[in-house]
């Protein structure tokens, strides 16, 4: 099983940069390794930055582009909307893995409905 930090790095590598790429057209390779020093506070800071990046760039995507075919990270072909759905589905999947991982360590994760 991948570590919680590895799952977090994948999520951070996809959603924020992926939405930015869709909005700006600037393609970059998928970069799943982030030097985090295994520090919870640093990972949470990166998470907050990714949320800000998503909020900023998502608003810049014109509705008429959602059915355009694109290639995210220079390799994954699909429409804008299917790519965004993949980002969301991937986060849901890995968030569930994270909850299982934490419970396996005897840590009760926060309820997902409490923010």
Binding site residue list for a divalent metal cation: 94
Other C-beta atoms lying within 10 Å of the C-beta of residue 25: 8
Other C-beta atoms lying within 10 Å of the C-beta of residue 108: 8
Q: Which residues sit in the known binding site?
A: 94
Give, as one character, the DSSP assignment of residue 11. H
End-to-end CA gap in the chain:
27
C-alpha atoms less than 13 angstroms from C-alpha of 68 in its C-beta half-sphere? 13
């Amino acid at each position: 099983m991948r570590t919680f930090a590895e799952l977090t790095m994948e999520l951070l590598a996809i959603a924020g940069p992926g939405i930015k790429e869709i909005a700006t057209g600037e393609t970059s390779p998928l970069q799943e390794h982030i030097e985090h020093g295994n520090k919870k506070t640093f990972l949470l800071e990166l998470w907050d930055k990714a949320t800000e990046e998503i909020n900023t760039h998502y608003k810049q995507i014109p509705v008429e582009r959602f059915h355009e075919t694109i290639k995210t990270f220079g390799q994954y072909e699909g429409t804008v909307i299917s790519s965004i759905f993949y980002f969301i589905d991937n986060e849901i999947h890995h968030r569930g893995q994270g909850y299982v991982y934490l419970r396996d360590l005897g840590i009760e994760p926060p309820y997902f409905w409490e923010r």
